[in-house]
Amino acid sequence: MKRARTASLAFALLIAAAACGSSGGHPAASAPAGSPTTVAPKITTVRLLTHSSFAASKDVLAAFTRETGYKVKLVQPGDAGVMVNEAILRRNDPVADALFGVDNTFLTRALDAGIFEPYVAPGLGSVPAALRVDSQHRVTPIDDSDVCVIDDKSWFGHDGRPPAPTTLDDLTDPRYKNLTVVENAATSSPGLAFLLETIARKGESGWTGYWRALKQNGVHVDDDWTTAYESDFTAGGGGGDRPIVVSYGSDPVADVVGSSPHRDTPKVGVLASTCFRQMEFAGVLHGAHNVAGAQALIDFMLTRRFQDDMPLQMYVNPIVAGAQPPAVYRKWVVDPPGASSIDPAVISAKRNDWIREWTDLVVR
Amino acid sequence: MTGTAAVTREVRGARLARAAQIAVPLAFLGVFFAWPLAAILARSLRPGAIVDVFTDASLRQVVWFTLWQAALSTALTLVAGLPAAYVVARYDFPGRRAFLAFVTIPFVLPTVVVATAFLVLLRSGGPLAFLHWQPGVVPMLIAHVFFNVAVVVRTVGGFWANLDPRREEAARMLGASRVRTFTAVTLPLLAPAILAAASIVFLFTFTSFGVVLLLAGPAHFTIETEIYRQAFAFLDLRTAAALALVQIVAVLVIVTALARLQERRSVAQRIVGGADVARRPRGRERIVVASILGMTTVFLAAPLAVLVWRSVRVGGRFTLGSYRALGSSASASTLFVSPWAAVANSVKFALIATAIALVVGGLASVAIAARPGRSSRTMDAFLMLPLGTSAVTIGFGFLIAYQHAPGWLADTWLLVPIAHSIVAIPFVVRTVVPALRRIDPRLRDAATMLGAAPRRVWREIDLPITARAFVVAAGFCAAVSLGEFGATLFIARPDWPTVPIAIDRFLVKPGQIYLDQALAMSVVLMLLTAVVIFAIERVRVRDLGEI
């Protein structure tokens, strides 16, 4: 009993301390950096808020630390939607200095919330103009990728089965009935991208008709990419029964690199005429403690070292001129020039209505 | 203990202890739950959005679906779990402890992993394909039973084991049939434990997220999945906050009603040591015991077996490659620490969370059991609230409430076990309070009369009698901590991931090897759970035996 009481006392103290700390104003770390009156300790870490798919090689991050003196500390609260919300909720006192991974479907919302401070990265000149979508430089483009319809190559073209599909319209053809699995546009980022793809290709007046036909043809909707790809897709390792899935243009690369036992050619193909372009951006967060570190990190993300590492870490395309992804990536990635896109501002204005309409039409 | 000074010290000590019983749990929950919750609601809640929840037909439908699926899931879980609770309470059979540890495994597995296993079982070509089940309400209900059956078996089984069988024997002797004995004697005596288990299962299924998302199909939404959808698909934090408030109020009402019922049904009774009562099954009993154990085991083992099978069966042959790959440098870059470090983190967090939950929950239990009535019901309901609050809500609450907190509080790994312990405390309360309530007060009176100080009474009477409940609760706490995902994702920094976080990291990477490693990691989590629970249950408590 004595011990129990000591423990409770310790807790009471902890709680009291917590309560005091929280109401006791800002901690020392939030004093303005470089203020002449205080001797601010040199900030040696830079905090990066990002989504849970972020990955980089250890030696690449070590190189950043070597070159700039900053150690990268990651904050990964969940998927891109969670991350953007976290940044918006903590607009005035951000949990990190920089953010990486806001994509074109969330971009305008993030910009409108004012979570970024403008920064013109010196490396921006080597990024194609089409990707520099924010004229005020609040975000810097870092990578792009494509969400496409993927097929299991070995499934088609034998035993009386049709050849592999090649277009969006093929998916509504009765020969491909009950063969397609897609993700929920309301809960999954590739699901939303595919909805946007159908809107981009079929127009604002035509996409609902397309989805009606798709539903008629037995399309299956899963709530997330993992279930769709790993469980329901025939080539996904879970032994599913649908050979057509919505996934990424880099899937043939992932299929070869992640094959077990090892294979040299991918089992999956990409329907190049069904791709929607996704871009990811980084920015310095408003109110960052370590602004210099955040800027250095964004600069670093545009260097060859980081850009060449991304493809096999996150399966996204480098965007700076002269970047050289590993051979296996260059060999198998499908990055069609004709991938469609929609202006981020339009997406922002209409996404909720589109998602609601899609939900009522397809899953209810 | 002679001399006035000593007596005064005792009295003052007792008064202090009584104050601590209430103050510590309230302060703990206040800082780590109520404050973040209030912070996020104050920030995002708008009256108009609350009205919308009740006027918008689709939102109303979400609330209704959440309620009835949780009620049905709870009823089914009780039906599935009570026979096994009976068997472990009343019979002694080889592997009894292993069975109890095994039953707990589903409880901690990440939903995404279990959903995958269910889909493998049910899909065309799978062993259960003949059922023709598409994702929908039925697989969701079955998964809810699968996850929560441990709550019933452990909570009710632990209580049942201490039930004096002579009352039942007397009823039988007086001519009551087996059925009548069960309904008229056993069931009423068990009621507090059954209600305790039911309220926990109800809360878990009421706030179920992964199972609903993955197995119910995209057409079904619970309040929990709708909060997520509103917040992250529509970026509409106001509707999300309104739904969170509705969820919390519903939970409060239901929990208070159940606690009241539980309190009213509690009777003081003679406690027996489980080991004295449990015996080897004889004759026909052997068939009953074997079939109950067999059915429970098959039901729980099938999805687990699918996981193990898939983790060692890669590319059509058997291999331990996925397990070896866990230590490779490729996986280190995804996680930024080795998966084995995640195992170490999980064990460390589980032990700390268990210790915190036992202390805080134990104090609260004593306070609640000692003072029946409205105030203790309120406290009880307050402690249960975290189970009924979405991880998203609390995660964002932490974010806002602690934004000006010093780094050691806002950015410490200690927050992870603290968050786990908040989820675990209701288990401690639910397990310990029924045990405390049935202590015959005359035992305490007798001890006091014989000159024992309050502390001594607690040590000599309450503690031994409730020790078994504490052991059961400890097992639960460890299980809750090992399996917790939602809140951990928000709080844990990438440099100290837990095993469920590591599994998630593997799952979001494309490529067969990562899926294989996620499955291998899930099997590791299964084994880890079994080992931890088994170890905790080695703790023998005096002559009351172990469960």
* Six token digits for residue A357: 């309409």
Q: Give contacts of A257 with chain B, Cβ < 8 Å.
A: 511
Which tens digits make up the pLDDT trace of A195-226? 999 999 999 999 999 999 999 999 999 888 88
For residue A125, the 8-state DSSP code is G
A90–chain B nearest CA distance, Å: 7
DSSP string for residues in B266-292:
-----B--HHHH-B---THHHHHHHHH
> Which chain B residue has its CA at the smallest distance from A19's CA?
B31
pLDDT, residue A18, reads: 40
Half-sphere exposure of A275 (CA within 13 A, CB side): 23
To the nearest 10 degrees (0 to 180), the angle between helices A58-68 and A304-314 is 160
Cα B149 to Cα B132: distance, rounded to the nearest angstrom:
24
Q: How far apart are CA B418 and CA B499, in angstroms?
A: 17
Q: Which residues of B touch A77 (CB under 8 A)?
A: 395, 489-490
Q: Does B71 touch chain A (CB under 8 A)?
A: no
Q: What is the CA radius of gyration of chain A?
A: 23
Residue of A6, A9, A11 for testing the chain B interface, max B β-carbons within 10 Å: A11
- Determine whether B380 is exposed, middle or buried from the number of CB atoms within 10 Å of its CB (0-12, 13-18, 19+): buried
Residues 526-545 of B with CB under 8 A from A: none
Query: B98 to chain A nearest CA, in Å?
Result: 30
Q: Looking at the complex, report in whole angstroms how far the Cα of residue B14 sits from the nearest Cα belonging to chain A.
A: 11
Binary contact (B334, A55; C-beta < 8 A): yes
The continuous run of DSSP H or E covering B180 comes out as: helix B178-181
- Close Cβ partners of A353 (under 8 Å, ≥ 6 residues apart): none
Terminal-to-terminal C-alpha distance of chain B: 36
B236 touches chain A (CB under 8 A): yes
Farthest CA pair distance, chain B: 80
- B321 neighbourhood in chain A, CB within 8 Å: 260
pLDDT in the model for residue B430: 81
Structure tokens at A254: 């992932």
* Chain B residues 299-318 with CB within 8 Å of chain A: 314-315
Q: Which pair of structure tokens corresponds to residue A92?
A: 């005035």
Q: Is B190 in contact with B163 (CB distance < 8 Å)? A: yes
Q: Determine contact: B340 vs chain A, CB below 8 A.
A: no
CA distance A363 to chain B (A): 5
CB contact under 8 A, B120 and A11: no
Number of neighbours of residue B86 by Cβ within 10 angstroms: 21
Is B333 in Cβ contact with A57 (below 8 Å)? yes
The pLDDT tens digits of the residues spanning A52-99 come to: 889 898 889 999 999 999 999 988 888 888 888 889 888 888 889 999
Least Cα distance to B409 among B39, B38, B32 occurs for: B32
B162-194 b/e (C-beta count within 10 Å ≥ 16 → b): bbebeebeebeeeebeeeebeeebbeebbbbbb
Nearest CA in chain B to A242: B124
Q: B464 contacts in A (CB within 8 Å)?
A: none
Q: What are phi and psi of B128, to 5 degrees?
A: -110, 20
Contact residues for A191 (Cβ-Cβ < 8 A; gap 6+): A182, A183, A184, A185, A221, A225, A246
Task: Give the β-pairing of A180-183 and B317-318.
Answer: unpaired
What are the structural domains, with CATH classification, of chain A? 41-144+279-332 (3.40.190.10), 146-277+336-363 (3.40.190.10)
What mean pLDDT is reported for chain A? Answer: 86
Is pLDDT larger for residue A7 or for residue B104?
Answer: B104
pLDDT tens digit sequence for A225-246: 888 888 889 988 777 889 999 9
Q: Where are the beta strands (DSSP E) in B260-356?
A: 313-314, 317-318
Tell me the residues of chain B between 498 and 517 that have a Cβ less than 8 Å away from chain A.
504-505, 507-516
Question: What distance in Å separates the CA atoms of residue B94 and residue A273, rounded to the nearest whole number?
Answer: 63
Provide the pLDDT for residue B228. Answer: 84
Q: Residue B318: what pLDDT?
A: 81
Q: What is the mean pLDDT of each run of 10 residues along chain B (547 residues)?
A: 63 78 90 90 85 85 93 96 92 87 82 76 70 79 93 89 85 88 89 90 88 81 87 83 90 85 76 71 88 93 86 77 72 64 91 95 89 79 85 80 71 85 88 83 85 83 82 87 83 80 79 80 86 75 42
Confidence (pLDDT) at A217: 96
Query: What is the amino acid identity at position A242?
Result: R
Per the CB < 8 Å rule, is B515 touching A238? yes
Distance, in Å, from the CA atom of B397 to the CA atom of A77, rounded to the nearest integer, reads 13
Task: Give the pTM.
Answer: 0.81
Among A260, A310, A347, A358, the residue to mutate for chain B (most B Cβ within 10 A):
A260
Interface test with B, best of A6, A53, A76 (most B CBs within 10 A): A76
Confidence of residue A100 (pLDDT cuts 50, 70, 90): very high
**What is the CATH topology of the domain spanning B17-312+321-544?**
MetI-like fold (1.10.3720)
d(C-alpha B476, C-alpha B529), whole Å: 10
Q: Which of A7, A22, A247 sits opposite B359 (nearest CB)?
A: A7
pLDDT at residue A140, as a whole number: 97
Burial label, A112 (beta-carbon count in 10 A; 0-12, 13-18, 19+): exposed
Q: Kindly tell me if the per-residue pLDDT of A311 is higher than 90.
A: yes
Q: Is A237 in Cβ contact with B509 (below 8 Å)?
A: no
Q: Which of A52, A75, A351 sits opposite B508 (nearest CB)?
A: A52
**Strand, helix or coil at A116?**
strand
Chain B residues in contact with A255 (beta carbon < 8 A): 510-512
Considering only CB atoms, B359 lies closest to which of A4, A21, A229, namely A4
Q: Is B345 left (phi over 0), alpha (psi -120 to 50) or beta?
A: alpha
What is the rounded average pLDDT of the residues A28-36?
40
B-chain CB neighbours of A227 within 8 Å are 112, 115-116, 119, 214
Q: Which of A171-185, A295-309, B87-101 shows the lowest per-residue confidence on average (mean pLDDT)?
A: B87-101
Q: Where are the domains of chain B?
A: 17-312+321-544
For B139, the token pair is 């697989």
ipTM here:
0.77
Neighbour count for residue B371 (Cβ, 10 Å): 15
pLDDT for residue A224: 83
Distance separating alpha carbons of residues A352 and B438, to the nearest angstrom? 55
> Which among B508, B517, B519, B522 is the top mutation candidate for probing chain A, defined by the most A β-carbons within 10 Å of its own β-carbon?
B508
Residue of A3, A74, A85 to mutate when probing chain B, most B C-beta within 10 A: A85
Contacts of A79 in chain B (CB under 8 A): 232
DSSP state of A54: -
Burial class of A58 by CB neighbour count within 10 A (0 to 12, 13 to 18, 19+): exposed
Which residue matches tokens 């899930």? B522
What per-residue confidence (pLDDT) applies to B517? Answer: 83
